[in-house]
Amino acid sequence: MFDTHTEWFDNYTNSQEERIQHSMFIIKKHVKKPSNILEIGAYPYIMTQEIIKTFGQNATITTIDKNNTPSKINTVEHHNIDITKHRIPLHNNTQNVIICNEVIEHLNDMNILVSEIERVLAPNGIVLLTTPNLYKLETIYNFIIGNGLPFMRLEDTRKYSYRNYNGHVREYSQKELKTIFKLYVKEHVLKTYKTKNNRFFYIIKKMIPWVREQQIMILQKNDEWKI
């Protein structure tokens, strides 16, 4: 295991497996043979393992996270940095694929993250970004019954502090997310997963796309890009 707190790791793996497999499907659809892949906010490195299995023989893989990589992952170049405070230690226009899954909702300030992604992304390279949908059904339901918005409670922040885990400081609507980057939005969809829903919520989300829980955005640095 990568995390000594194995119960948390197992729960996270089970809840995120469908999302991670779908993310890999999207990457393979858009990029056949990437030479340089950057994963931002890689902990707990489940997605990293899938990237290594799929592209490890042909690509240089770099991970960035405040947490160190486990010893079992020794085929990636890892930078132990806080992306809200430090630049990415990579050259301009070098990364064919940048993965930023479930990261931006944890950040108080993402100005550096956004500018650095735009800087290191190669021409015609893609960014895969996933983040919760602010208007997902669970948020609407909990707000109506008086449970408030789905941001981390103080006691949970303390509980998970050993992993430098901030919780969700804010979530974004589809409209807001499109305004964050200057890159071309190649694809932007809302997705729901069976493993993260009870049957009733899942049926409603299949019928009403705008209340699905997950936003998936593909960004691209096209020929008109000016850094």
Which ranges of 71-148 does DSSP label H, i.e. alpha helix? 111-120, 137-144
For 44, residues 6+ apart whose C-beta sits below 8 A from its C-beta are: 2, 3, 9, 12, 67
What's residue 180's pLDDT?
93
What's residue 72's pLDDT?
61
What's residue 1's pLDDT?
37
What's residue 43's pLDDT?
87
What's residue 192's pLDDT?
93
Print the SS3 string covering 36-70.
EEEEECCCCCHHHHHHHHHHCCCCEEEEEECCCCC
44 preceded by a cis bond (ω within 30 of 0): yes
For 98, residues 6+ apart whose C-beta sits below 8 A from its C-beta are: 37, 38, 39, 40, 117, 120, 121, 125, 126, 127, 128
What's residue 196's pLDDT?
72
List the chain pLDDT tens, one digit each, 227 residues.
Answer: 345 456 767 777 777 888 999 999 999 999 888 889 999 999 888 899 999 999 988 899 999 998 776 656 667 899 999 999 999 999 999 999 999 999 999 898 899 999 999 999 999 999 999 999 999 999 899 889 887 766 655 455 545 554 555 678 889 999 999 999 999 999 999 999 987 778 999 999 999 999 999 999 999 998 766 55
What's residue 159's pLDDT?
52
Residue 219: which of 104, 97, 91 has the closest Cα?
A: 97
What's residue 57's pLDDT?
82
Kind and range of the H or E run holding 121:
strand 121-132
What's residue 90's pLDDT?
96
**3-class secondary structure, 88:** coil
Question: CATH assignment of 6-220?
Answer: 3.40.50.150
What's residue 165's pLDDT?
56
What's residue 2's pLDDT?
47
